């Protein structure tokens, strides 16, 4: 089933066709088609509870890697990758293009404590 936004987009071409058919005399009847309401294009997201449950499970899942055939390192890397993607908002295509040279480390003071901050310098949709 197409979304309302897809139908709205396709109606544009349908109206052009109807207008053309009227202009060349194939039909004289006025045709109007109501557009469906605009849909909400928000992406699905995790609630705070879902996020807590997921990150709690990931820590347990990583620690069980040795029991499941020595998969601790792979699980750790997968979880770290997922955390970078979700916490930075970077797209998968942008992340695929990242190199080690694109990651900078900066120290900063937070409540009189030194904190490490990582900056990703990748190219996005607009090539910045």
Q: pLDDT tens, 77-124?
A: 999 988 988 888 888 888 888 888 888 888 888 888 888 888 887 766
Give yes or no for a contact between 102 and 121, defined as CB atoms under 8 angstroms apart.
yes
Distances (CA, A) of 94 to 21, 123, 125: 45, 6, 8
Asked if residue 126 belongs to a domain, the reply is: no
CA distance 33 to 95: 43
67 and 115 fall within a common domain: yes
115 and 71 fall within a common domain: yes
List all residues 6 or more positions away from 71 whose beta carbon is below 8 Å from its beta carbon. Answer: 65
107 and 75 fall within a common domain: yes
Task: Please write the tens of the pLDDT for every residue from 58-89.
Answer: 999 998 888 888 889 999 999 998 898 888 88
Low-confidence winner among 5-9, 30-34, 124-128 (lowest mean pLDDT): 124-128
Asked if residue 96 belongs to a domain, the reply is: yes
106 and 72 fall within a common domain: yes
Instruction: Flag whether the pTM goes above 0.75.
Output: no
> What range defines the domain where residue 81 resides?
48-120
Asked if residue 91 belongs to a domain, the reply is: yes
65 and 98 fall within a common domain: yes
- b/e map of 24-44 (b: 16 or more CB within 10 Å)? eeeeeeeeeeeeeeeeeeeee
Asked if residue 43 belongs to a domain, the reply is: no
73 and 97 fall within a common domain: yes
Count: domains in the chain:
2
Tokens of 21: 């058919």
Which residue's entry shows tokens 């709205």?
A: 8
Asked if residue 128 belongs to a domain, the reply is: no
105 and 58 fall within a common domain: yes
């Amino acid at each position: 089933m197409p979304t309302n936004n897809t139908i709205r987009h396709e109606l544009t071409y349908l109206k052009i066709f109807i207008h053309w058919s009227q202009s060349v005399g194939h039909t004289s009847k006025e045709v109007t088609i109501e557009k469906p309401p605009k849909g909400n294009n928000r992406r699905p997201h995790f609630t705070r509870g879902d996020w807590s449950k997921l990150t709690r499970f990931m820590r347990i899942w990583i620690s069980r890697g040795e029991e499941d055939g020595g998969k601790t390192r792979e699980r750790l890397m997968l979880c770290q990758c997922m955390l970078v993607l979700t916490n930075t908002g970077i797209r998968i295509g942008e992340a695929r293009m990242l190199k080690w040279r694109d990651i900078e480390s900066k120290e900063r003071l937070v409540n009189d404590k030194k904190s490490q901050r990582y900056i990703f310098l990748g190219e996005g949709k607009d090539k910045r």
